A and B are shown apart, each in its own frame.
Chain A
Amino acid sequence: MPAAAPAPSQDVKRKAAREVIDILHEIATLLNTRLDRQQLSYCVSLIENGANPEALANVIRQLREEYAVEYVSGEDVGAR
């Protein structure tokens, strides 16, 4: 990968990354994805490490389906 610029300082990088996350979070809210910031950051990391977005989306959906009750009501449904 060509180096675009001399390595920016860690602060700047971190700031840029944070901004990206911010924007993504906003878009996620707009699109009603129901991902909170934490989940989104994990997704981002997973994708950066090579996960396929479509697959990830499916997994999240599946998990939500199976354990959606907890998510909605916050109760502990142990039997599932």
Chain B
Amino acid sequence: MAQNARLAALTDELIHSILKFDPHTNKQAYKHAKDIASKGLRAHQYARTNQFDVQSSFTGLEEKFRVLNRDDLADALDVRVKEINQRRGKWIPEFLSLLLQLSDRPTENSDVGALELLRPPSPPPELTWKQILEEDPYSDEEIWKDIDYGGESSEDEFFKKKQKGKGTRATSVEEDDTYDPEACVVLVDVEVMKELEESQFWTYELRDEEEKVEITELQAVRETLFMLAGLQSSLYLNDKQSNSIRVNHKYVFGHAMQKTADHLLAQLADIGRALYRLRQWIKRPSSLPLVQTFEAAVQKRLDEYDRMLANLQHLYLVPKAPISVSLLELHDQIRTGSRPILRLAQLVEDIEPQLLVNPFVHLETLFDQISLAQMTLEKDVFDFLSCVFFECLQTYLKPIRRWMESGELGLNDETFFVFENDSSSEVSSLWHDRFVLRRGQENALRSPTFLQPAAHKIFNTGKSLVFLKELGIYGAGLNSSEPEPRLDHETVCGISSEMPLSPFPELFQAAFQTWISTKYSFASTVLREHLFSECGLMRVLGHFKTLYLSANGSIFQDFADAIFKRMDEGQRGWNDRFLLTELARGIFTPALNRTHADKIVVRSVRSKARNQFVKGLGNVYIDYALPWPIMNIIQRSAIPIYQQISTFLLQTYRIKYLVQRVSPRSIQAIGNTRLRQLSYRLRQRLIWFTDILRSYLSEAVIDLSTEDMIVAMKKADDIDEMASIHMKYVARLQDQALLSENLKPIHKAIIQILDLGVTFAVAHSSRAMPTRTSATRPALSSRAVSSSKTSKFSKSSRRKSVIPAIVEDDSSDSDSDDEEADEGAGSKAPAASSSEESVEVLEKEFGRLLPFVTAGLKSVGRVSAEPAWEMLAERWGWEERKGARSFG
């Protein structure tokens, strides 16, 4: 019962504390509560507490806390349960089970921090005498000293107080009392220091030469990466004299054989050596912009390479995942990563000595290397070198662009292949003379080899622009409106990850042609249009044909007749140029317009000899004033050829004119039958000969060639083409008209035959009318009479008289020839009886010369495959084929 009493008392107390109100104020509630309590406690049907259950509950609870992420709770609970289990107590499982049952959602509501509040505050430490004495000692010596009434100021007091409070310090001048420098000194952790010093393997002092220092692989990796980045390292030594890198054999690995390690390090040192040399090369500056661009590109690549090395270092320094330190693997990575830049280093080393001489050797070498890399399917090297190449090319393209867009050249630009030869040259030779292509050794063009196919086009574009500028039609609106296509790696080789299938040179040429054509086509079209329409190229060519080549036969005949009349009149001033010019202008006006006819100028050369009219023909030159743009095409050197042909035509006309004057009636009047027959025969043959010659010249030679030339000229693209077409045309004319050097003997023979005609005509007229006065007689005979010397009739004399002054080696003979010619003609005059012989002689001469000419033409025609000559020979040789029958 004591038990129960105690129980009741305790229950009361419990209720009291739970209910928290005064039992006296609310008796009823209190009583009710008491009843509940006693009823509850009395019940016996509860089982005994199973302590193992309790423990397992606690374990489960702890797990639950951990699962629900309340590790703090679980830990705290765990600690306390363990502690309480260490205690011996009968009722402990009961306590624990009570608590378990009363627990109310601990995961959400418990706060571990609340535990802190449970601890009673620690009591303040007890005050001991020692502490009191420290703060306030028994005696203070200062009290008994005399007071210095006036000496101390408040500052000093303040100072003294501070000193007392702070304790000893090294310096006493510290103003700032809140800042303690000692607080800045961080105590050094001696252990860490020792480790650091140990790892600085390069500071080890070796006692003798043979001893080696052991290093770890990680240290070796780091040293390698430093060396490759161009920095100093201890494992590899920089040798400045031989510009190379060697492995320092002082250091060995603890875990590998020295030989294998050395081999590996030596390979890495090789890579490092190449890179080191490349870095040294970059440091030397250059003055040419091309080389500077190249150096900048190489520097950029080196920077990228350094970045790659830094990334590798990062892998080892801050590994995201566990990484194994392996020098072999590093070697592998470095080898693959360095392949492009090593190729570049090799390239630089090869071309370094040549860069001063040939400033674009790097472009050529890069080009070759790119093609090689493409063929060996090294895509990384290909891309790498191609990007470098295109960067450098941009600098080279700048002068090209300037030249092609405005026709300007930079001053003293040694690297560009167009070069102003003669800035003060005349505009008439602007195209050909003012600018030339710069050539180097062996006449090779001074430009990169891969640009040479396009060099001519570039050259012509610039020249066209200069031309247009001179013409005055260059200006705004002349620039093409399409944007310039980019020339770089992506546009040329494509962006795909595969190697382009076409060879790189082809891709480049195609891209470059596109680039050029955007600039080229516009200028040249404008120029061409201008030449054809404004300057009237075709019209000028037509005029030339009329003037020189007898395009309009009747006008030419008129002109020829007029000249011959003047010659035959025998006046001294017959070849006065002003009169002749007026004559020519007047005659040619119907064919050319008045304005153009005014451009004709006739000049004549005063020859030393007395006026032989056949010679006189060769001394008369017709000139036509050309506008300067046309003169770039129809060059000055072509005009004499025109004049030669014109003279030749005039000569044939002349002979016909003369021989035709020998009328059949006058021959009929000759008494001598034989002479009469001979004369008929000779006359007929001469006329036939000259007719064939004239028809050959006008039809076979002139017409055909001119047609071809006109067609080709209309299709020509630029001035170069036009000029070359014209040159070829003129050369062909000269060739076919038998005026070229290798046909000289034949030409001479023909002229001789023509001269026979002259002689015949002269002889006939002098024979037929011996009493004629000198006024009507051909001037030749009058001259001939006055001559006193005798000479035989020699072909050499005649020949020289009619050939135009172009043939220079004959000029020396002109004097003697004159006299001989005079005599030759003169010898006919006096003896009428020898006229028969003379005609016979003429016949014989003709008969001798003609086969010679035909044979010569045939053989030459066969040799040089010129069918026209063979045709001419055929026409002249019909007599032979029929079998020449001689009269008389």
Interface of A toward B, CB cutoff 8 Å: 1, 4, 16, 19-20, 22-36, 38-39, 42-64, 66-67, 70-71, 74, 76, 78, 80
Chain A interface mostly helix, strand, loop or mixed?
helix
Q: A25: which of B6, B32, B73, B118 is its contact (CB, 8 Å)? A: B118
Residues of the B chain whose Cβ atoms lie less than 8 Å from the Cβ of A51 = 7, 41
The 5 closest A-B pairs by CB, nearest first: A31-B103, A59-B40, A57-B101, A33-B102, A53-B98
Q: Are the C-beta atoms of A23 and B102 separated by less than 8 Å?
A: no
Residues in B whose Cβ lies below 8 Å from that of A74: 20
Given A42-B10, A53-B101, A47:B95 Cβ within 8 A: yes
Determine whether the beta carbon of B41 is less than 8 Å from that of A52: yes
17 intermolecular pairs with C-beta atoms under 8 Å apart: A29-B115, A31-B77, A31-B102, A33-B104, A34-B102, A46-B14, A46-B41, A52-B41, A53-B98, A53-B101, A54-B47, A56-B40, A56-B41, A58-B40, A67-B29, A76-B25, A78-B26
A54 to B19, CA, bound (A): 20
> B residues within 8 A CB of A43?
14, 95, 98
Chain A residues near B112: list those with CB within 8 A.
30
Enumerate chain B residues within 8 angstroms of A23, measured Cβ to Cβ: 80, 83-84, 87
Q: Tell yes or no: B411 within 8 A of A by CB.
A: no
Contacts of A27 in B (CB 8 A): 77, 80-81, 84, 96, 99
* Closest chain A residue, CB of each to CB of B119: A22
A59 in contact with B97 given A35-B102, A50-B7 (CB within 8 Å): no
Contact between A28 and B102, CB atoms less than 8 A apart: yes
Q: What residues of chain B lie closer than 8 Å to A1, measured between beta carbons? A: 90
Contact status of A63 and B7, CB under 8 A, knowing A32-B106, A33-B99, A43-B98: no
Q: Out of A31, A49, A67, which one reaches B6, CB within 8 Å?
A: A49
Query: How far is B76's CA from A74's CA once the two chains are assembled, in angstroms?
Result: 30
Q: A24 to B87: give the CA distance in the assembly, Å.
A: 12
Which positions 18-66 of chain B face chain A at CB distance < 8 Å? 18-21, 25-26, 29, 32-33, 36-37, 40-41, 43-44, 46-47, 49, 61
Please indicate the chain A residues that have their CB under 8 angstroms from the CB of B6 in the complex: 49
Contact partners of A38 in chain B: CB under 8 A: 17
* Structural contact, A52 and B17, CB atoms closer than 8 A: no
Alpha-carbon separation in the docked complex, A11 to B77 (Å): 28
How far, in angstroms, from A65 to B887 measured CA to CA in the complex?
170
> For the complex, what is the distance from the CA of A80 to the CA of B36, rounded to whole Å?
14
CB of B114 closer than 8 Å to a CB of A: yes
CB-CB contacts of B78-93 with A at 8 A, as 1s and 0s?
A: 0011011001111110
B110 contacts partner chain A, Cβ-Cβ < 8 Å: yes
A71 to B330: give the CA distance in the assembly, Å.
74
Flag if A59 contacts B80 (CB, 8 Å).
no
Which of B670-708 touch A at CB < 8 Å?
none
- Do A30 and B80 form a contact, CB below 8 Å, given A42-B17, A78-B26? yes
- Asked if residues B84 and A20 are in contact (CB atoms below 8 Å), the reply is yes
Give chain B residues whose Cβ lies under 8 Å from the Cβ of A63.
15, 18-19, 33, 36-37
Q: Which residues of B contact A42 (CB under 8 A)?
A: 10, 13-14, 17
B635 within 8 A of A: no
Residues of B within 8 A of A71 (CB): 18-20
**B108 nearest CB neighbor, chain A only:** A32
B100 at the interface (CB under 8 A from A): yes
CA distance A1 to B46 in the complex (A): 24
B163-204 contacts to A (CB < 8 Å): none
Question: Is B408 an interface position by the 8 A CB rule?
Answer: no
Q: Is the beta-carbon distance between A30 and B110 smaller than 8 angstroms?
A: yes
A32 to B379, CA, bound (A): 72
Given contacts A27-B84, A29-B118, A30-B73, 6 further A-B contacts (CB under 8 A): A4-B88, A30-B76, A39-B17, A54-B46, A74-B20, A76-B25
> Which residues of A lie under 8 Å from residue B11 when comparing CB positions?
46
User: Do B110 and A60 have beta carbons less than 8 Å apart?
Assistant: no
Q: Could you tell me the distance in whole angstroms from the C-beta of B563 to the nearest C-beta in chain A?
A: 141
The answer, among A32, A50, A59, for a CB contact under 8 Å with B3, is A50
With a cutoff of 8 Å between Cβ atoms, the chain A residues found around residue B47 in the complex are 54
A residues in contact with B73, CB < 8 Å: 30
B630 to chain A, nearest CB (A): 114
The answer to whether A55 touches B18 (Cβ under 8 A) is no
B223 at interface by CB-CB < 8 Å: no
A60 to B33, CA, bound (A): 10
User: Roughly how many angstroms separate A57 CA and B33 CA in the complex, as a whole number?
Assistant: 14
CA distance A47 to B6 in the complex (A): 11
Do residues B87 and A20 form an inter-chain contact, with CB atoms below 8 A? yes
User: Do residues B84 and A32 form an inter-chain contact, with CB atoms below 8 A?
Assistant: no
The residues of B that contact A59 with a CB separation of less than 8 Å are: 36-37, 40-41
Q: A29-B115, A32-B105 are in contact. Are A80 and B99 (CB under 8 A)?
A: no
Q: Which A residues lie within 8 Å of B104 (CB)?
A: 31-34
- In the assembled complex, how far is the CB of residue A54 from the closest CB belonging to chain B, in whole angstroms? 5
Please report the C-alpha to C-alpha distance between residue A32 and residue B40 in the assembled complex, in whole angstroms. 23
B831 CB to closest chain A CB (Å) equals 166
- Inter-chain CA distance A78–B30, complex, in Å, is 10
Report the Cα distance A60→B84, complex, angstroms. 24
> How far, in Å, is B154 (CB) from chain A's closest CB?
56
Note all chain B residues with C-beta closer than 8 A to A55.
40-41, 43, 46
**In the complex, chain A residues whose CB is within 8 Å of the CB of B77:** 27, 30-31
Closest to A29 in B: B114
B812 interfacial contact with A, CB 8 Å: no
Q: Are B18 and A64 in contact (CB under 8 A)?
A: yes
Identify the interface centre among B84, B89, B92, B102: most chain A CB within 10 Å of its CB.
B102
CB-based nearest B residue for A26? B80
Most A Cβ at <10 Å: residue of B21, B61, B88, B105: B21
Contact B41 A24 (CB under 8 A): no
With an 8 A cutoff between CB atoms, is B109 at the interface?
yes
Question: Nearest-CB distance from A59 to chain B (Å)?
Answer: 4
Indicate whether B262 reaches chain A with its CB closer than 8 angstroms.
no
